Amino acid sequence: MTRPVAFITGAARGIGLATTKLFLDEGWQVAMNDIDTDELKTASAPLENVLAVPGDVSDPDEAARMTDMVTATLGGINALVNNAGVADFGPMEETTFARWKRVMANNLDGPFLMTQAATPALKASKGAIVNIASISGLRASTLRIAYGTSKAAVIQLTLQQAVELGEFGVRANCVAPGPVRTKLAMAVHSPEIIAAYHDALPLNRYGSESEIAEAIVFLCSNRASFITGQVLAADGGFEATGIGLP
Ligand code: NAD
């Protein structure tokens, strides 16, 4: 039987790489995108049933080129995981317009453009979309004017996609991770934020990349065949506390 195809953006490390490995374990083949060509080469080299797709998800021409490459090489797309993203922590008055635009380009334009490019293939396969938001898109804070706003928009993007594409049998859901010790998070989580997260989360710890991957792969699989337009917070219980972000 032909393996279904998952196209994962930002797959060279962190949550994207863990998700790649879980899809492979479950019998999928994976098109691994990343803007970091060297890290993508290193991450994909030891893996079987993967296609490395270097490129920038925030560029419309690149989004179209990469999607064409995946469908031409692997025969279609059964799941698109819009995982690529960047972080930027800081108060509003210190957030330059250049920083704001960088966050919006990577975190919001990317998922829009990649989904637009992949939609014909997803309609053909009656496939699934999973967008990676964040608990920062569900709660406001003093530090996340750009990042939090981009992730809240990704949640609404998911709802729009679910409603628009439902009649074609395409599902769209969102995973909102809590803190995970990836390169992205560790660049902006100070020791104070790390300690505060440990106190704030009912599970009193950071999550792992593979714990987030489990939620993503589940929502892409047929086990979630009647689930669309949902936001699944994989966050150690943070949402349940009702308190503010550290
Ligand atoms: P990471 O930095 O380890 O991985 C992100 C990957 O995306 C990198 O390999 C990077 O090169 C790639 N990327 C960035 N911009 C790109 C672009 N324009 N085109 C292609 N690739 C690009 O970070 P991560 O923590 O694994 O983040 C994955 C996703 O999870 C992000 O969307 C992030 O916002 C989200 N998230 C992470 C956390 C956390 O605590 N780590 C929490 C909530 C949400």
Written as six digits, the tokens of 120 are: 């014909």
Catalytic (active site) residue 147: yes
8 A C-beta contact, residue 115 and residue 158: no
Give backbone dihedrals phi and psi of 30, rounded to 5 degrees, phi first: -130, 125
Ligand 1 center to residue 174 CA distance, Å? 15
Arithmetic mean of pLDDT, 162-189 = 97
Long-range contacts of 220-225 (CB under 8 A, 24+ apart): 220/6, 220/23, 220/78, 220/79, 220/81, 220/128, 220/130, 221/26, 221/128, 224/128, 224/171, 224/173, 225/171
Ligand 1 center to residue 11 CA distance, Å? 8
CATH for 5-180+209-233? 3.40.50.720
Whole-angstrom distance, CA of residue 162 vs CA of residue 67: 20
Whole-angstrom distance, CA of residue 221 vs CA of residue 78: 9
Burial of 192 (0-12, 13-18, 19+ CB in 10 A): exposed
pLDDT-based confidence at residue 190 (cuts at 50, 70, 90) = very high
Query: Which of 73, 192, 204 minimizes the C-alpha distance to 143?
Result: 192
Q: What is the mean pLDDT of the chain?
A: 97
In this model, does residue 1 exceed pLDDT 90? no
Pocket of ligand 1 (CB under 6 A): 9-10, 12-16, 33-36, 56-58, 83-86, 106, 110, 132, 134, 177, 179-180, 182-185
Arithmetic mean of pLDDT, 212-222 = 98
What radius of gyration, in Å, describes the C-alpha atoms of the chain? 17
Distances (CA, A) of 33 to 130, 154, 156: 15, 19, 24
Whole-angstrom distance, CA of residue 170 vs CA of residue 224: 12
Catalytic residue of the set 7, 23, 112, 147: 147
Residue nearest to atom 19 of ligand 1 (CA): 56
Residue nearest to atom 34 of ligand 1 (CA): 85
- Which atom of ligand 1 is least distant from the CA of 177? 43
Arithmetic mean of pLDDT, 167-193 = 96
Instruction: List the strands of the sheet with 29-34, edge to edge.
Output: 50-54, 29-34, 5-8, 79-82, 128-132, 171-177, 231-234
Ligand 1 center to residue 121 CA distance, Å? 24
Whole-angstrom distance, CA of residue 88 vs CA of residue 157: 20
Which residue of 19, 22, 34 sits with most ligand 1 atoms within 8 Å of its CB, as the best mutation to test the pocket?
34
8 A C-beta contact, residue 126 and residue 168: yes
- Which atom of ligand 1 is least distant from the CA of 39? 9
Considering the entire predicted model, what is its pTM?
0.98
pLDDT-based confidence at residue 102 (cuts at 50, 70, 90) = very high
Ligand 1 center to residue 1 CA distance, Å? 32
In this model, does residue 36 exceed pLDDT 80? yes
- Which atom of ligand 1 is least distant from the CA of 16? 26
Whole-angstrom distance, CA of residue 151 vs CA of residue 77: 24
